Amino acid sequence: MKIGVFICHCGENIGRTVDCARVSKAAGFFPNVVHSVDYKYMCSDPGQNIIKQAIKDLQLDGVVVGSCSPHMHEKTFRKAVADAGVNPFLCEIANLREHVSWVHDDMDVATDKAIDLVRFAVEKVKRNAPLKTIQVPVTKRTLVIGGGISGIQAALDVANAGYEVVLVEKEPSIGGHMSQLSETFPTLDCSQCILTPRMVEVYQHPKIKLLTYSEVEKVEGFIGNFKVTIRKKARKVDDTKCTGCGDCMQKCPIKKKALSEFDENLTTRSAIYVPFPQAVPNIPVIDTEVCTYFKNGKCSMCKKVCGRDAIFFEQEDQMLTEEIGAIIVATGYKLYTIDKKPKNSEIKGYGEYGYGKYKDVIDGLQFERIASASGPTSGEFKRPSDGKEPKKIVFIQCVGSRDESKGFSYCSKICCMYTAKHAMLYKHKVHDGEAYVFYMDIRSGGKMYDEFVRRAIEEDGVKYIRGRVSRIYEENGKYIVKGEDTLAGVPVEIDADMVVLATAMIAQPEASKLAQTIGIPYDKYGYFVEVHPKLRPVESSSGGIFLAGACHSPRDIPDSVAMASAAAAKAMVLFGSDMLEREPTIALVNENLCAGCFYCKKVCAYNAIEVKQIFDRQGNFVKEVAYVNSGLCQGCGTCNATCPSKSIELIGYTDEQIYAEIAALM
């Protein structure tokens, strides 16, 4: 074998800490290495040409590139090698950046380590075999999880490109948080007015299959070939018969017991309900927790009044399976609104603000409902406790955000803007009212965003106070807000009629569970994680699973919509070809040695191990052994590590190759 070694400086990234010339010189003396050079940017066009030219001139049949991580540029170099006529799997990467230059200071030591890693890769490449990629077909259907604005946008984009979409929403209606909002910054256009037409478009789209009140139960398979199990929860209403006339809701005797989720618990709803009048689909569900029929069987008023005989008390959850090629996760966020410290949580909470104790201390979404024309007060400013118009409102920003000691260390990003909007909306309707905002910093980066905040301050006279609030308590019907003006250096006390807390955006409480179900990583807050923060911001590290909206990080509507369209584009890129190329580095069972304990099957995260029966020539059953489904295997090697007798190997990473690598380091 004739091996060429190519050492990249990665600009200064490697070159600053590693003496690349010395590495290349040392590698030249390794057995089988016939050529060894270093170059400033090996991934660049001229850099790749150095490799290609050397392959041609010296008839190299093995290549080692000492560069950044294989994650970054293995594909690039393998392609270059393939272009020059050598099997791409005869190219190996020695990671001299993440494993050496970025983690060491001492040049001599780093260079020695780099030489070792190159030797290690040379030993591997000597034992590499030419491999062929596996071709698998692509199912050109997309699953969108979450029917908020992000999910709606992604679904519409993919569907409008002509591909089928399955949109799964766990609530009875699509629309998400955006449907709860009054007006949207920075233009103050009505949220419902811009959203509801898109909801209807989703409902009527011939390419979109809408599954509301449904949840993703299980995801099997891999990019281009997912098999998704969806639980369609029992509405107790037959959606094929219901016309959405609403008679059942009007006649339902339970009116007061259930709090309206859509109105953020400010109003009540019936036991059979649609979350809001513009719900899509306009088909009610029965809340079996409060419904009298489900408690003691004594009421069936809805069934009696339904002209279509659509009430179906015996209905049970249905399991549907869908063949899917790409998944877009758009499960959104929740507002952090705890009044006291939850059990077993590191979050300390803000008991001193009296949320949950004082009716007029509300959060941002509750304020949205009060300000909304479709809300409990029809858009008139009336406070929850006594319905009186508040003459003085205090808004507190960063409740939970940017607070490592009591909340979360991140910035929720949207609160500066929506608080300015809240104060503005209030001042527009209550001209003699006073609005105070306690803030830490104003973060209003974005098109027309800072202008918007300036307008609130300068034109609408909202009073901004830089400082934190220490305590809120009730005194003579007023809420005394005690805080500090850190610019003036004086304590402040405001007797407010109402207080609005801009509480942090947090991940959905079940986000981590969903992440485990579909197999994508999440951070310590429960937000889903992208592959690369800059270059691949909408892709999860699991192939074919993309992220959109606030399930990834706090973001506003324009950002969410942009991300959703980006995720849709990524799904469509996948659908651009009929066959997908998969790496041939998958597991292979030695059927002679396999004892059939199936520990490999137990640990396989991809359900890629099957049971195969072995028969002798006479057709007598001999034994059961493990069998690898090459379509499902991702080549993670867990089976390989688990097998007690080492009867299952990873092609391209065989024990022999790994052993040679280790030996090269010792």
* Contact residues: another protein, CB under 8 A: 516, 592-599, 602-603, 624, 642, 644-647, 655-656, 659-660
| Closer Cβ to another protein, 317 or 655, answer by number | 655
| Closer Cβ to another protein, 29 or 621, answer by number | 621
| Closer Cβ to another protein, 569 or 603, answer by number | 603
**Three-state helix/strand/coil letters over 145-196:** ECCCHHHHHHHHHHHHCCCEEEEECCCCCCCHHHHHCCEECCCCEEHHHHHH
| Closer Cβ to another protein, 72 or 636, answer by number | 636
| Closer Cβ to another protein, 154 or 639, answer by number | 639
> Where are the alpha helices (H) located in 382-461, listed in sequence order?
415-429, 449-458
Beta-strand runs (E) in 497-597? 498-503, 505-507, 545-547, 579-582, 587-589
Per-residue tokens: 223: 């990019």
Q: How far apart are CA 503 and CA 337, in angstroms?
A: 6
Name 72's Cβ contacts closer than 8 Å, sequence gap at least 6. Answer: none
Under DSSP, is residue 120 helix (H, G, I), strand (E, B) or coil?
Answer: helix
DSSP 606: T
Distances (CA, A) of 488 to 231, 463, 637: 57, 14, 62
Sort residue 188 into left (φ over 0), alpha (ψ -120 to 50) or beta: left
Beta-strand runs (E) in 62-120? 62-67, 91-95
What minimum distance in Å lies between the beta carbon of 127 and another protein?
10
Crossing angle for the helix pair 70-83 and 45-58, to the nearest 10 degrees? 50
Under DSSP, is residue 50 helix (H, G, I), strand (E, B) or coil?
Answer: helix
What minimum distance in Å lies between the beta carbon of 128 and another protein?
15
Residue 324's DSSP bridge partners are: 226
Amino acid at 653: Y
Per-residue tokens: 303: 């069934």
Per-residue tokens: 138: 């692509």
| Closer Cβ to another protein, 144 or 609, answer by number | 609
| Closer Cβ to another protein, 203 or 599, answer by number | 599
Nearest residue to 371 via CA among 363, 380, 358, 362: 380
Q: How far apart are CA 36 and CA 379, in angstroms?
A: 74
| Closer Cβ to another protein, 119 or 236, answer by number | 119
What minimum distance in Å lies between the beta carbon of 591 and another protein?
10
What minimum distance in Å lies between the beta carbon of 551 and another protein?
20
| Closer Cβ to another protein, 56 or 218, answer by number | 218
What minimum distance in Å lies between the beta carbon of 642 and another protein?
7
What minimum distance in Å lies between the beta carbon of 126 and another protein?
14
Nearest residue to 273 via CA among 263, 287, 290: 287
Q: How far apart are CA 259 and CA 644, in angstroms?
A: 56
| Closer Cβ to another protein, 71 or 602, answer by number | 602
What minimum distance in Å lies between the beta carbon of 468 and another protein?
35
Other CB atoms closer than 10 Å to residue 597's CB: what's the count? Answer: 15
What minimum distance in Å lies between the beta carbon of 643 and another protein?
9
What minimum distance in Å lies between the beta carbon of 507 and another protein?
17
What minimum distance in Å lies between the beta carbon of 318 and another protein?
27
